[in-house]
Amino acid sequence: MSIIYIIVKTLTLPGAMLHSFFEHMSCRASKVLVDDARAIQFNEMLGHIDHELIKRKGPSFDVCFIPFFFNFVLGFFTLCHGATTVIYLGRYNNWFSWVCLYLGISILTNLFPQIEDVMMLKENFFGKGKNVILKILVSPFYAIFFVGARLEKWGITLITSILFAFATPYILGTFIPAVFEWFR
Amino acid sequence: MSDKNKLNNQSGDYREEMEELARIFKEELDKTIEESENTETETEYEVEGYEVTMGEKKPVEELTEDELCECCGERARGTEKNPDSPFCSECEAILEKYPYDWKGVTTAIVTLFVTLAAIICFIVNVPVFSYTVEGEKAFNEGNLFTANQKFNKALEAISEEDDGAFLNVYEKRIFLNYRMLDMDSVLSDTDNYFSDFAKKMPMYKDVAEIEEEIMKMQATVLVIQDVLSQYADVSDNNYNEIINSLDALSGKKVYVKGTSYHLEGEEGFTPTGKEDVYICDDAWIEMYKYSAAQYLEKDGKIITEFLSSAAEKSEYVEILVNPLLAATYVGIGEYDKAEALLPTIKEANKENIDYYMVQSMLYRYRDKDYQKGVDTCIDGLNMLASIPDSSDMIAQIGYILSMQKTLNYIMLEDYKSAYTSAEECYSYQAETYAISVQVRDMYAMLALKTGDTETYKTLEEEIEEYGDLESGFSQDVKDYKDGKVTLQELAQSGGYDLL
Last residue of a domain, one of B163, B193, B223: B193
The CATH number assigned to the domain holding B383 equals 1.25.40
User: Is B43 part of a structural domain of the chain?
Assistant: no
What is the residue-level pLDDT of chain B in tens, covering all 499 positions? 444 455 455 556 677 777 777 788 778 777 777 776 665 444 444 444 444 444 444 565 667 777 887 777 778 888 777 777 777 888 877 777 788 888 888 989 999 999 999 999 999 999 999 999 999 999 999 999 999 999 999 999 988 777 778 899 999 999 999 988 888 899 999 999 999 899 999 999 999 999 988 888 888 888 888 888 888 777 878 888 888 888 988 888 888 887 788 888 777 778 888 888 888 889 999 999 998 888 888 888 888 999 999 999 888 888 889 999 999 999 889 999 999 999 999 988 888 889 999 999 999 999 999 999 999 999 999 999 888 888 888 888 889 999 999 999 999 999 999 999 999 999 988 887 777 888 888 999 999 999 888 888 888 887 777 655 456 778 888 888 888 889 889 988 888 888 7
- Nearest chain A Cα to B82, which residue? A55
What amino acid occupies position A78? T
A53 or A163: which leads in pLDDT = A163
The helix (H) or strand (E) run that includes residue A51 is: strand A50-51
Instruction: Say whether both B360 and B494 belong to one domain.
Output: yes
Structural domain range at position B271: 214-298
**Residue A45 sits at the chain B interface (C-beta within 8 Å):** no
Relative orientation angle of helices B205-228 and B183-193, to the nearest 10 degrees: 130
State how far residue A45 is from chain B, nearest Cα, in angstroms: 14
Q: Which residues of A touch B71 (CB under 8 A)?
A: 35
User: Is B166 part of a structural domain of the chain?
Assistant: yes
Q: Which of residues 79-118 of A touch B (CB under 8 A)?
A: 80-82, 84-85, 88-94, 96-97, 99-100, 103-104, 107
Instruction: Say whether both B122 and B183 belong to one domain.
Output: yes
Q: Which of residues 56-95 of B touch A (CB under 8 A)?
A: 71, 86-87, 92, 95
HEC string of B233-282 equals CCCCCCHHHHHHHHHHCCCCEEEEECCEEEECCCCCCCCCCCCEEEECCH
State how far residue A73 is from chain B, nearest Cα, in angstroms: 9
User: Is B397 part of a structural domain of the chain?
Assistant: yes
Q: Which residues of A touch B171 (CB under 8 A)?
A: 90
User: Is B230 part of a structural domain of the chain?
Assistant: yes
- Indicate the pairing of strand A34-36 with strand A50-51: antiparallel
Instruction: Say whether both B240 and B171 belong to one domain.
Output: no
Instruction: Say whether both B161 and B251 belong to one domain.
Output: no
Instruction: Say whether both B478 and B401 belong to one domain.
Output: yes
* Best CA proximity match to A179, nearest among B388, B143, B116, B129: B129
Q: Which residues of B touch A100 (CB under 8 A)?
A: 114, 118, 121
Q: Which residues of A touch B101 (CB under 8 A)?
A: 20-21, 24, 37-40
Instruction: Say whether both B130 and B260 belong to one domain.
Output: no
Q: Between the CA of residue B332 and those of A72, B302, B303, B335, B338, what are the distances in Å?
A: 66, 11, 10, 8, 10
User: Is B50 part of a structural domain of the chain?
Assistant: no
Instruction: Say whether both B383 and B441 belong to one domain.
Output: yes
Instruction: Say whether both B364 and B496 belong to one domain.
Output: yes
Q: Residue B228's CB: how many other CB atoms inside 10 A?
A: 15
Q: Which among A38, A94, A100 has the least Cβ separation from residue B101?
A: A38
- Indicate the pairing of strand B276-279 with strand B44-47: unpaired
Strand-by-strand arrangement of the B276-279 sheet: B260-263, B253-257, B276-279
Question: Contact at 8 Å (CB) between A79 and A70?
Answer: no
Model ipTM?
Answer: 0.91
* Best CA proximity match to A116, nearest among A52, A162, A173, A59: A52
Q: What is the reported pTM?
A: 0.77
Instruction: Say whether both B189 and B283 belong to one domain.
Output: no
Q: Which of residues 168-187 of B touch A (CB under 8 A)?
A: 168-171
- Confidence at residue B236, expressed as pLDDT on a 0 to 100 scale: 78
**Residue A134 sits at the chain B interface (C-beta within 8 Å):** no
Tally of domains within chain B: 3
